[in-house]
Structure 1
């Protein structure tokens, strides 16, 4: 009973986590101990001993509503009944099976990494990275759509697809970055301190196309047009990809755009 109480105490109090199944109480304890280590840190919402049955799949399926990536069963050294496998496939519960703890973790980690990549791809269109650009002297190569300029990345990270606006000109939008060149070579992004050539393409054919010399001038800074939703997308999907300095720029731009 003491062993069982010890095992039950490992279940995450929030109720969110994976479902864990093992062949014996001892192997269940070993797996839970491994999942709890800081390097692994996978929360557990439920446990079971013996083969994976339909009832275990039903318990794991609760996570489909709460945190979909945790709608999984880590089955350590146990069999999965055909009925349980069929129900898991129908409900969308993922079952990982292994008789070595590390292999279970590797499978789960690969699964989570893959989910993150898929989320990133879905969110890519809505992700706006923070950047501040300054037009360089004698580097205006085309004044109207597509506007082609040589710029100095004053702050942040410039990426293809970034919507650009001019804060000094009542935040007028001039289009999106459609290409970046560094030393005449196409690149996907440019960071603070780099000098690059950019092409800005008008984002809306119905609107009047913006033009250098009419809508903005040499001294005007070009800034990525962030929004509340684009900040949320960065936080959810790109938190680790931005440096502390780049996050500070997000906060600075948030104030500039008066985003709540």
Structure 2
């Protein structure tokens, strides 16, 4: 046609990242990556806890896993990598990320509860990813549980036990007593051996982002799973729209390491920003190349967002012409980590109905600041903080502008309230009432009482045995209970504003000067929709 075709710059930039891996490249066996899936509160984290002999479950709000935790354990000389995904419906996106990075799915089903909606959804994710399933029937130590009934319901979803002529290993376990845990681990190693899981070790690493967050002391922290090759300190990596030179690699026990091979979950420091969860991680040869690709991807991302906004404007224009005004609830969302933010945006927007549209005007990671409040005020949005708080300046602006701010640490409380707001039945009062704030001035080590935070009560009242949250730079870093409250050397029940006191936090030893301790009370209210 008289035109000379030219390969687009777009292809060349992206394609240079894909390194040719010849068929002769030597592969070696690698540890299996196992994702633990299942319904909320069926004991996934407790099960993993028992395996790790650590205490993760109690640290999560309400004992519910909200971020992807990744850990390695050793069973009779075999290493197994576990990914613990949240069970709540809103985190299906997170579960899907887990399934995409995994070799084996352990489906946890509580013997007393049986097969639930997220159990079925987890089966679907595993089957879509063509990953073998092992079923762990948990809570078998409870009286009167019917394991066969669970197997029967699972069989209706095409998950059939080996005993019944199918190909799925099913193991009865108790995360409480430890019964059946060894058998479960042996089933995992057996399945892994049969699947012949291998990877190339001697090449630049590639992997996937499991989670990313902003940390006060360390900056941008990205949890990744190395899938092939070896990741080394000093490598230049690109992860989605972000890039950087790796300053530090930290293993699942919090210890710095120099390199990480296939199937190893690690935290890396040194990226330019917070990448999206699920983004591909690749090691590239130079920082110039990484910057080039990141800039190119950001431009492409901006263009896509712009096109989407234009399309939405046109859709809104036509839909309003057709059906008159539709009520819209605008939401501005801030979260502590990227994965929660992504999953929450999807869950909130899915609540839209024919009569009421829910729109997330902005979402991000970190404390709620003045810019957020200004945007919320301009767009008449409700502000939701998930494990984050509002800084002092923004709090004053919110009061002046009349912007409503709601705080949450458990996902389905947020979803329930959102439904109630849509139904127009929820008053502006909180289901949790913050009764006091204290700032930590110093920390004293006491052999008798453990760590005691020397505090000044800034506002309200601090009561003993109240639930509390520890905030660092307005981000919630711990939720627990106020164990001891002292004024000079006396035990006291409560301390008022403007008074100094000593606070002991139950099962927590990382309080630092500059932290804030938020004391609240839970108010039980009937909810309606």
Could you tell me the TM-score, scaled by structure 1's length?
0.35
Select the structure that is richer in strand: 2
Select the structure that is richer in helix: 1
Could you tell me the TM-score, scaled by structure 2's length?
0.18
